[in-house]
Structure 1
């Protein structure tokens, strides 16, 4: 496979001169190739290919001036060289170092200034380690945390200002706390709560203003409690309620079937 870009320019914008490169002798051995696998190239794919072919050289490049070189070298370098990279000014470098280090060393990146780093760090942590991130200023970080943290800890996010975070909370919250989410101002959150509520608790949502919530109620509520849903203003809700209401035995039906 060849690269579509037919140029050999370094990260400073200068043309690459293989003869001036410290790795020039490697070309004859097939360990590097201009426009394809070159540590001096400005294209990350070519730098990555160079280190894939020569992982042992990564140690000497973890402090290179070009951030792409540092970031890719961090994927191959010895682990003991990586902790200083957690303070690198470039988020890609910090993340590539963090993903290979023990969790105890990367906890401080929970307060990283870059949201992408915090999102990825959250994906590596569990429960107690995630508690400080429940108050992260970025909604997507909080959403990732809500998907990973132990359900009993989700109570802190029940009133989150972002709907998408509360939806995740409603999907995972312990059942005994779900009734609070059934009163959420967002219909999408109430729907998630309705899907998990016990059938005997669904009646409180029969008059919900959103037809999707009422449809969920009609599909799971006891047929004897369908009531107004049989004449709901929404056709799909009515059809669901009537289909289930038809399963309800008529008064005296069991008596008629009893043998004399």
Structure 2
């Protein structure tokens, strides 16, 4: 069986020559195969298959000139030889080493120069270790932090510069703290707040400039306060407010004296 690409080229674009390979003996043992499992091939799938078949050889390839070989070898090498790879010039190599090392070894990658490494590091860390990344220069790093960190710690991110980050904060922030976000400059954030606030607290948003927020308020606010929206400028908001007021009036009429 071969891979879909019917060629065997090295990472330098040269033909793979089994006769000059240091692992020629493995071919006879069925532990490597041209175009299928080969450490000299430029295709990652074939390199990965080679190390799957020969994991004990991974340690000797951690300094290979081709970054794909180093990165894949890092998935199979002994853990005690991986720390130097945290300084590898290629982010893929650094990440493959980091995912196997204890947290105490990888905390410095919270400041890795490559955003993809920092984004992935978030998935390996816990709350106290993530607070350092709340102020990351990249908004997407902060976004994944906001999605992962414990809700009680999110109060430090309610004023994040990026609306999408604040929207996630509004989704996960403890409900008792949501009132601090009712004046957020982004309507999408305020809408999230309106969807989670307790009905008796929604009066803080009855005059919101965005009709979508007021519509949510009119749909959920306590019946005693919905009258504030029956003359709203927006047709949809007025309709739901008047509908809820009418329903509330009918309910009162049906209640026994």
- TM (norm. structure 1) is 0.92
CA distance in 2 between counterparts of 1:252 and 1:6 reads: 78
Partner of 1:145: 145
2:163 paired residue number: 163
Partner in structure 2 of residue 12 of structure 1: 12
SS of equivalent to 1:184 = coil
Match of 1:180 in 2: 180
| Structure 2 CA distance for partners of 1:252 and 1:67, relative to 1, 3 Å | closer
Match of 1:224 in 2: 224
Flag structure 2 segments of 5+ consecutive residues without an equivalent.
none
**Distance (whole Å) between structure 2 residues aligned to residue 2 and residue 16 of structure 1:** 15
Judging changes above 3 Å, is the alpha-carbon distance between structure 1 residues 234 and 252 closer, same or farther for their aligned structure 2 residues? closer
Question: Match of 2:36?
Answer: 36
Aligned-pair distance for 1:193? 1.0
Matches within 5 A, 1:173-212: 173-212=173-212
Shift of the alpha carbon at 1:233?
3.9
Q: Would the aligned equivalents of 1:205 and 1:217 in 2 still touch at CA under 8 Å?
A: yes
Secondary structure of the structure 1 residue equivalent to 2:185: coil
Normalising by structure 2, we get a TM-score of 0.93
Count of matched residue positions in the alignment of Structure 1 and Structure 2? 257
Q: RMSD between aligned alpha carbons?
A: 1.8
Q: Distance in 1 between matches of 2:240 and 2:249?
A: 17
CA distance in 2 between counterparts of 1:26 and 1:212 reads: 67
Give deviations 1:163-190, integer Å, cap 9, x for gaps.
Answer: 1111111112222321121100100100
Indicate how the Cα distance of structure 1 residues 71 and 166 shifts in structure 2: closer, same or farther if over 3 A, else same: same
5+ residue gaps, structure 1 = none
